Chains A and B, each alone.
Chain A
Amino acid sequence: MDDFQKYIKENKALFDVHKADKSKLWANIEAGLNPQESKTKTIKLWSNPIFKVAATIVIALGVFSLINIIIVGGVKQNSQNNLALQELNDINSHYKGLVAYHVKLVNKNSQLSSQEKKEFLSFMDELDLEYELLKVELQKNLDSERILEAIVINYKKRIELIENLLSHINNSKKMDNDDMYTL
């Protein structure tokens, strides 16, 4: 190294005469940098064949269990539905007979005016409509137990209605008889 070289080296700082426009340059640099997230190392698990096998097994198990759940769930739902329908049939066969019997009694009763019969039958029709609605609800299987209960209540109301009517008729009969008697 000659004197000239040494001289330059000693005064190297003097060669740095320029000042960079820091903020302007940084703005451009930052725009070109990788996004910060992607700087974090990603470990490619799937490049390992063991993980490929593991992933396949996991996926297969997942699909299998999903299918299983759907099928078993479907069967369960079906059996539940069947149970509810069976119960409905039992209720129907029991109460329908009772209602029909009572309606027949009312119809046979000669002491009722046609007006009273009409009124009574319109009540019965209303309850019939309610019953149809409940049946539809039951098929939707929202809460079969409560719906079945509602159906039973519906039937009981009809029978109660008929019984009230009949007892009313009987009372009036007695009254008539009493009148006759006093007369």
Chain B
Amino acid sequence: METNILYTHKSLVEKSKLGDRNSQYKLYELYVDAMYNVSMRMMHIKEDAEDVVQDSFIEAFNNLSSFRYESTFGSWLKRIVINKSINQLKKKKIPVVPIENQMYHIKEDTETMPLETDIKIIIKGIDLLPSGYRQIINLYLVEGYDHVEISEILGISASTSKSQYHRAKKKLIEIVKTL
């Protein structure tokens, strides 16, 4: 079963590889909302997110021949969206990686998120994070990448990713508590 997941929408993908516009549109319809949300979480601005989604789909369909079911189509596409978002943020000189030296000392990871906190408040809290922390939290918590993957995406070491995530989480808890 696990290997079968990789071949989700295989016939659509195969037809799309041959340039069938209908199949491409069907794939687009299936994934556009998810990709738009990924992009919105990264970019935070509607227009920027839309640009990233457009560019990602264009790149994905035009380079679909290089997709060889090593992952699901969805995660392949999501990786394109994430990479494009990061590139856009870098172009805009928005810090992608959190600032290393924070003014405040980071205590041990004792605080935990009060359980059953409303998801909406958590989302609001993430929005209020400094952009560098927000990327890490989004990539790790929401998009579900592990620290090795995040290190590849952001071009940092896996240990940096780990420590930055903990800092970001602490900051998030602080913010959520004030909401």
Asked whether B115 lies within 8 Å of A3 as measured between CB atoms, the reply is yes
Inter-chain contact B37/A15, CB cutoff 8 Å: yes
A22 in contact with B62 given A4-B113, A14-B119 (CB within 8 Å): no
Given contacts A22-B29, A25-B54, A29-B54, contact A17 B113 (CB under 8 A): no
Separation in Å of the B44 CB from the closest CB of chain A? 11
Interface residues on B, range: 35 or more
Within 8 Å of chain A (Cβ to Cβ): is B148? no
Stretch of B17-25, B71-79, B85-93, B156-164 at the chain-chain interface: B17-25
Instruction: Write out the residue numbers on chain A whose beta carbons fall within 8 Å of the beta carbon of B40.
Output: 18
Is there a chain B Cβ closer than 8 Å to A7's Cβ?
A: yes
Q: Which residues of A1-51 have CB atoms within 8 Å of chain B's CB atoms?
A: 2-5, 7-9, 11-12, 14-22, 24-26, 28-30, 32-34, 36-40
Q: Is the CB of B141 within 8 A of A5?
A: yes
Once the chains are docked, how many angstroms separate the CA of A124 from the CA of B53? 94
Contact indicator B119/A20 (Cβ below 8 Å):
no
Partner of B142, one of A8, A19, A37: A8
Distance in angstroms from A94 CB to nearest chain B CB is 77
- Cβ–Cβ contact B112 & A25, under 8 A: no
A4 to B115, CA, bound (A): 7
Main secondary structure of the interface of A (DSSP, over half): helix
Partner of B50, one of A7, A20, A34: A20
Q: A8-B122, A17-B37, A20-B36 are in contact. Are A39 and B18 (CB under 8 A)?
A: yes
A34 to B20, CA, bound (A): 11
Q: Is the CB of A3 within 8 A of B112?
A: yes
- Identify which of A11, A18, A26, A36 contacts B36 (C-beta below 8 A): A18
Across the interface, which residues of A come within 8 angstroms of B57, CB to CB?
A: 25, 29
For B32, the chain A residues whose CB sits under 8 A away are: 20, 22, 25-26
Chain A nearest CB: distance from B34 CB in Å? 6
- Across the interface, do B123 and A17 meet the contact criterion of CB distance under 8 Å? yes
Q: A22-B29, A32-B58 are in contact. List 11 more A-B contacts (CB 8 A).
A: A4-B169, A9-B144, A11-B119, A20-B33, A20-B36, A24-B50, A26-B28, A29-B57, A33-B21, A33-B58, A33-B62
List residues of chain B with CB under 8 Å of any chain A CB: 17-21, 24-25, 28-29, 32-37, 40-41, 49-50, 53-55, 57-58, 61-62, 112-113, 115-116, 119-120, 122-123, 141-142, 144, 169
